Amino acid sequence: MALIWMIVTAVLLLLIQAQLIGRFALRGVRYSRTLSRDRCYVGENLELIEVLENDKRLFVPWLRLESEFPASFRFRGVTSHHTYLGNVYQTHTSGFSLLPRRRVTRRHFLTCEGRGIFQLSTVFMTSGDLFGFVEQSRSENIKTPLIVYPKLLNTSQLPLSWHNWQGDLSVRRWILEDPFLIEGSREYHSGDPTNRIHWKASARTGGLQVFKQGYSADPYVMIVLDMGKVNLGAQGGGGEQEAEYAISLAATCITELIASGVAVGLVHTAHTLKENRIPPGSGSTQLQILMEALSGIRLQQKRTLTDCLIEETTYKGLTRDYLIITEAEISSFGQAYKQLENRGHKINLLDPKDRNQSSREKYAADEQVSLRKEAQG
């Protein structure tokens, strides 16, 4: 008889805990997730912070979190996640146990190995009673935006034609002073005309000062990025690596030009999550806009380079310097090339393949070394 009562009591306790703990397992459970930055470059490290809180008097014996991340994210070091890696996304599953009125914070360190515009959102939570008789599930829409900019290249990886064109641009930019553009004062030099003496600045500094004139030949540069034809997933490679290199080349050129104070714009031939054309501008805000545009490019051609250049002939305004990044032969877009030239624009071609073989091999080798280091880490 005593054994029967023990069995009945045990069954009742199991049912009570199943209804009490299992039914209210996710009540009062809150989850939040943040990244240390919302923008970074390919190859940079980020910190992912997860906070899970149990705001009730009952403990949570077990809790399973399932969240998706882009496949290009690599978690470093020891992690509590179990990872299921796919071609586009990877699913991370982690387990928790929460005491009443407790908060748990976990930090993960990851490396972004691929550019893109990401919106980390849904997290799936599952919990239940001690023995799994009753389970509760719900999804949390945690919006965590992240923009990963293209990888910037070293100077040694840039084509020689880039250095030649940049030198020519600098000469044209600084060759003539504008007498109507005053940028402050400077010390008097022998030969400076007396009508340029800045008397107030001279009195203030105690030495002879003259007006410092600016330069009116600041160019407007449009980067034209031709994606060509990329066959995604093709055996032996469908041009993805070459396309990513061209995007990195464009990002590096833009960064160098804006750092020099040049107004830069961008137009490309690919599908994108952002604008296809951004007019020239300068400053850190323009750099951010251009990097976001490059991050949002998809490796699919939307239009031909010829169509892109012909559309450029319809934009009026000041003459521009066009820097066309393409592997195509000039004969394939020569007519559009001539139309732009006839409207007074200067055109220069930048072939991503126009570099010595050692630089090209170094770029590919750097990518492989980075992947091996992350795999070992």
pLDDT for 245-261, tens place per residue? 999 999 999 999 998 88
| 30 and 41 belong to one structural domain | yes
Average pLDDT, the chain: 83
Confidence at residue 198, expressed as pLDDT on a 0 to 100 scale: 83
| 275 and 144 belong to one structural domain | no
| 240 and 359 belong to one structural domain | yes
CATH number of the domain bearing residue 75: 2.60.40.1530
| 227 and 345 belong to one structural domain | yes
- pLDDT tens profile 262-316: 899 999 999 998 889 999 999 999 999 999 999 999 998 999 999 999 999 999 8
| 227 and 102 belong to one structural domain | no
Q: How far is CA 329 from CA 322, 344, 355, in A?
A: 16, 22, 16
Q: Indicate whether 285 belongs to any domain.
A: yes
Q: Indicate whether 8 belongs to any domain.
A: no
pTM of the model: 0.76
CATH number of the domain bearing residue 298: 3.40.50
Q: Indicate whether 208 belongs to any domain.
A: yes
Q: How far is CA 170 from CA 175, 293, 352, in A?
A: 8, 26, 22
| 251 and 102 belong to one structural domain | no
Q: Indicate whether 257 belongs to any domain.
A: yes
**Total domains, the chain:** 3
- 33-38 contacts: CB < 8 A, separation 24 or more? 33/67, 33/120, 33/123, 33/142, 33/144, 34/144, 35/144, 35/146, 38/145, 38/146, 38/147
Q: How far is CA 13 from CA 10, 24, 63, 130, in A?
A: 5, 16, 21, 11
| 209 and 114 belong to one structural domain | no
Asked whether 56 and 164 are in contact (CB, 8 A), the reply is: no
What is Dmax (Cα atoms) for the chain? 119
| 240 and 323 belong to one structural domain | yes
Q: Indicate whether 296 belongs to any domain.
A: yes
Exposed/middle/buried for residue 377 (C-beta within 10 Å: 0-12, 13-18, 19+): exposed
- pLDDT tens profile 193-222: 777 788 888 888 888 888 766 554 567 899
Domain limits for position 286: 155-173+217-376
